[in-house]
Amino acid sequence: MKNLLSGIRKGIFILIIPVLFCQEQLSAHGLAQYDSVRITLAQAETRFVDNNLQLLAAKYNISAARAAVIQAKLWSNPNFSIGQNIYNKYTHHYFDITKTGNTDLQIQQLFLLAGKRDHQIKLAEINTQIAEDTFYELLRALKYELHTDFYSLYYLQRSLKFYDETIPSVKKTVASTELLYSSRSILLSDVVRLKSLLFSLESDRLNIKNQISDVENDLHVLLRDSTSVNSYFIPVVNTNTIDSLSLSKISLDDVLESAVDDRPDLRIASDNIKYDETNIALQKSLAVPDLTLGVSYSRNGSYIPDYLALDASIDLPVFNRNQGNIKASEDNLESDKANREQTRSLIRKEIISAYQKAEDTDHLYKTFDKKFTAEYKQLVDGMIKSYENRNMTLIEFTDFFDSYRSTMLQLIQLQNDRVNAFENLNYAAGMNLFDK
């Protein structure tokens, strides 16, 4: 019986000590059947830019917009028409193409007036710029998703390692206490307490694994990884670089100023205004009729044989002077001006909020005593001795461990929240403010 009690105490000791050093490696528990892929953030970004299907589709949109510029620069094709007399009742010939029959020929060319062609070319060029800025806006959003998924996976795997190193020891301890209970050496409440702790650990571990699975799936889609069924990612992170992240050299005013130039969505809002201004000019030019010039020839169909004439035609702007489209384009301009100011205001609020969150989270992390883990180990050693000397009940000890578990996981979550706060500031600013 004494040996069994000693085994329980050793099991609890084993339960605690590995957790104190839970840092960088992913536990292989539950993942042994898969191939691991160690990957840095830089490597992930390279694969993302090369393989992501959404970015590929956006690149095709840019190419299509550039093709529209080429099309806008093309002249209208000349129009050629021919008229041939079917039956000559005097000569009784069908389709008489000789001098006794009649053939009419005409060729015409449309000329756009009032700068319509130049306006159409400019609109196509602005559409190309919008397509490019839309690509960079998509890149900004997906890159933020990639970074947050990358770091979330890293810290989730650290949490999983915590559980994988803890649960086996708890199971051994539960088995030992059940033997003691069967001999009536301990109370049922002690067994139930340990089983409750084990169930809580396993439930939390399952939740962590499900979160890891979701993040893994997102990463495989972002990177278009064809081996997603048989592999999992292990993020490689330089913790010293992460710890050195700081806002000390980045002021809020600097971030706000840089966002005006670097946020793609604000550039899109400005592009829309340029488009509207050019479209107003185009719509006003469309009120001016276009000129059609041509040459016509008639062998015997006019007042003289071999009739040759210069043709010119133009619509008379009596009823339709494109008034409705001009008014609509002017209203669209005012609407897009308001949207740009709204976008500018939202960007400012996003940056201020992101900067404050990064500052607060970083402050909380840096006020955390780095000696905490070592001091906690000493406390654990003291708690174990107290338990061995029967100065502490098993319930008190498990309560202590439950508090320890919560603290360690909150610390991991704080580290994740801090990195995400910096990433969120990068996303709000539309640029990379930190080197990681």
Domain ranges of the chain: 2-76+112-287+322-429
430: three-class secondary structure by DSSP = coil
Neighbours of 228 (CB within 10 A): 15
Q: Give pLDDT tens digits for 205-260.
A: 999 999 999 999 999 999 988 655 567 899 999 988 998 898 988 899 989 988 88
Q: Output 220 or 91, whichever has higher pLDDT.
A: 220
Residue 346: pLDDT above 50? yes
Tokens of 308: 């040759």
Question: What pLDDT does 217 receive?
Answer: 92
Q: Give pLDDT tens digits for 356-408.
A: 999 999 999 988 766 666 666 667 666 656 655 667 777 777 777 778 788 88
Q: CA dist 323 to 115, 123, 289, 332, Å? A: 18, 20, 14, 14
Token pair 């883990």: residue:
373
Residue 334: pLDDT above 80? yes
- Please report the beta strands in 59-123, taking only residues with DSSP state E, as ranges in sequence order: 79-84, 87-88, 93-94, 103-111
Measured at the alpha carbon of residue 379, what is the angle toward residues 378 and 383, in degrees to the nearest 5? 120
Question: What pLDDT does 4 receive?
Answer: 47
Measured at the alpha carbon of residue 204, what is the angle toward residues 159 and 407, in degrees to the nearest 5? 55
Weakest-pLDDT range from 108-112, 138-142, 192-196? 192-196
Question: What pLDDT does 282 receive?
Answer: 97
Average pLDDT over residues 46-53: 94
Question: What pLDDT does 425 receive?
Answer: 95
Question: What pLDDT does 394 receive?
Answer: 72
Query: pLDDT > 70: what percent of the chain?
Result: 85
Weakest-pLDDT range from 73-87, 165-179, 362-376, 377-391? 377-391
Weakest-pLDDT range from 41-50, 68-77, 177-186? 177-186
Contact assessment for residue 142 and residue 52, using Cβ atoms and an 8 Å cutoff = yes
DSSP type of residue 301: S
DSSP type of residue 87: E
Residue 195: pLDDT above 90? no
Q: Output 397 or 152, whichever has higher pLDDT.
A: 152
Band of pLDDT at residue 174, cut at 50, 70 and 90: confident
Query: pLDDT > 90: what percent of the chain?
Result: 58
Closest by CA position to 353, among listed 429, 411, 266, 292 = 429
Contact assessment for residue 280 and residue 333, using Cβ atoms and an 8 Å cutoff = yes
Q: Within 110-186, where are the H helices? A: 116-182
Tokens of 136: 């960079």
40: three-class secondary structure by DSSP = strand
Average pLDDT over residues 149-155: 96
Q: Output 141 or 388, whichever has higher pLDDT.
A: 141
Question: What pLDDT does 189 receive?
Answer: 75
Residue 25: pLDDT above 50? no
Report, in angstroms and rounded to the nearest whole number, the Rg of the chain calculated over CA atoms: 38
Average pLDDT over residues 339-348: 95
Average model confidence (pLDDT) across the chain: 86
Contact assessment for residue 197 and residue 401, using Cβ atoms and an 8 Å cutoff = yes
Q: Output 91 or 344, whichever has higher pLDDT.
A: 344
Weakest-pLDDT range from 180-184, 201-205, 341-345? 180-184
Q: Output 376 or 25, whichever has higher pLDDT.
A: 376
Average pLDDT over residues 144-164: 94
Measured at the alpha carbon of residue 148, what is the angle toward residues 230 and 429, in degrees to the nearest 5? 145
Question: What pLDDT does 59 receive?
Answer: 96
Residue 15: pLDDT above 60? no
Tokens of 53: 């299907």
Average pLDDT over residues 298-318: 92
Average pLDDT over residues 405-426: 91
Question: What pLDDT does 423 receive?
Answer: 95
Q: Which CATH architecture has domain 2-76+112-287+322-429?
A: Up-down Bundle (1.20)
Q: Provide the CB-side half-sphere exposure for 162 (13 A, CA).
A: 26
- DSSP result, 192-257: HHHHHHHHHHHHHHHHHHHHHHHHHHHHHHHHT-TTTTTEEEEEE--HHHHHT--STT--HHHHHH
Report d(CA 337, CA 41) in Å as an integer. 38
Tokens of 262: 């670097």
Residue 17: pLDDT above 60? no
Contact assessment for residue 414 and residue 365, using Cβ atoms and an 8 Å cutoff = yes
Weakest-pLDDT range from 8-12, 26-30, 399-403? 26-30
